[in-house]
Amino acid sequence: MTTSLEVEGLSVDIHTPTGVLHVVRDVSFSVGSGRTLALLGESGCGKSMTAQAVAGLLDPVAEVVGGAVRLDGTDVLELDHTARRALAGPGLGVVFQDALTTLNPVQQVGAQVAEPFRIHERMGRKAARERAVELMERVGIPEPRARARAYPHQFSGGMRQRLLIAMAVALRPSVLLADEPTTALDVTVQAQIMRLLADLRAERSMALVLITHDLAVVAEQADEVAVMYAGSIVETGPVREVFDRPRHPYTRGLLSSVPAGAAKGEPLRSIEGSPPDLAAVPSGCAFRTRCPLAAEICESETPALLEVDGRAAACHFAKELTDA
């Protein structure tokens, strides 16, 4: 297995009229070919911002203020626009949540799926269209030749998501970033799309970075998980190990908030309060205000993400949780 994507110490700030928000803080992870890493977290935890920074698609108000994003060994943050585009255009595919706003409503989908071939491989219109039809067939769009002439609104949500996936994998990227790819879809369609992503990942030895808030999706799809809270990774490791024996109180709280795990009629063990406003993240450990284990040290010292046997948790009491 080779490391396809390596993110090291990535930090992103957003400039707002009232000050600077540190939305991604010193985030590191890596994912190898044919593997799936899930970035798991609740809204505002910085998982999408991390993905956008990796993909080079940050909003102008946001800025990468540190770190490296190595795609097959090359730090794309060091490259100029043209070089980055030449490398990351084919090398890194992206699928977003909302397929309706991502597709161009006034262009035939065949032309849109053909676009990567036209731009990056300088193919002629006809040849690119042929490749697009093949690709649409591969992602499970029935009658692809006829459907290539249709417009996005003539497709269902699931079919639109298939189109986005087709575009994202067109140039055989080594890394595919999927940001909540099934959140807007119904359960039975969600299962189809996850299956398609898993098949493509295996077939093309892609590294898949799955950004999601859904613990069950992570449990079923990912090899490794990185749990984010208030802009930082608080726990990371192989999914089964992390979910079976979480070492960070936040991961624990999340897992016990899932209704499936609780006995019927029993109250769910929820986490107190709600995720912090990024303008007012608590000092020290950002989770301490909601944490049942919080002590004085949590306020004064930010816990480091320390690795112990292939896993890591940023908690002063990680050892106690491990032994518990």
Partner 1 sequence: MPELLEARGLVKTFRASGHRLRALDGVDLHLGKGETLGLVGESGCGKSTLARTLLMLERPDEGTVRFSGVDPFALRGAELLSWRRRVQMVFQDPFGSLNPRLTAAELIGEPWRTHRDLVPSRRRAARVDELLELVGLRATDARRYPQEFSGGQRQRIGIARALASEPDVIVCDEPVSALDLSVQAQVLNLLADLQRELGVAYLFISHDLSVVRHVADRVAVMYLGRVIETGPTEEVFARPRHPYTAALLSAAPSLVPVEGAREIVLTGEVPSPVDPPSGCRFRTRCWLAQDVCAQVRPPMEHGAACHFPLVDNDAVVASAPANQP
Q: Catalog residues that contact partner 1 under the rule CB under 8 A.
A: 42-43, 140, 156, 158-159, 186-192, 194-196, 199, 213-217, 219-221, 243, 253-262, 264-265, 267-271, 274-275, 290
Q: Which is nearer to partner 1, 71 or 185 (CB)?
A: 185
What distance separates the 2 farthest-apart alpha carbons in the chain? 67
CB of 60 to partner 1, least distance (A): 25
Q: Which is nearer to partner 1, 205 or 256 (CB)?
A: 256
CB of 123 to partner 1, least distance (A): 26
29-53: b or e for each residue (b if 16 or more CB lie within 10 Å)? Answer: bebbbbbbbbbbbbebbbbbbbbbb
101 contact partners, CB below 8 Å, separation of at least 6: none
CB of 283 to partner 1, least distance (A): 21
Q: Which is nearer to partner 1, 35 or 84 (CB)?
A: 35
Assigned token pair, 168: 């994202």
| Alpha-carbon gap, residue 264 to 26, rounded angstroms | 40
103: amino acid identity, one letter: L
Q: Which is nearer to partner 1, 88 or 250 (CB)?
A: 250
CB of 230 to partner 1, least distance (A): 12
Half-sphere exposure of 194 (CA within 13 A, CB side): 24
CB of 194 to partner 1, least distance (A): 8
Q: Which is nearer to partner 1, 290 or 316 (CB)?
A: 290
Q: Which one, of 1, 4, 11, lies nearest residue 68 by Cα?
A: 11
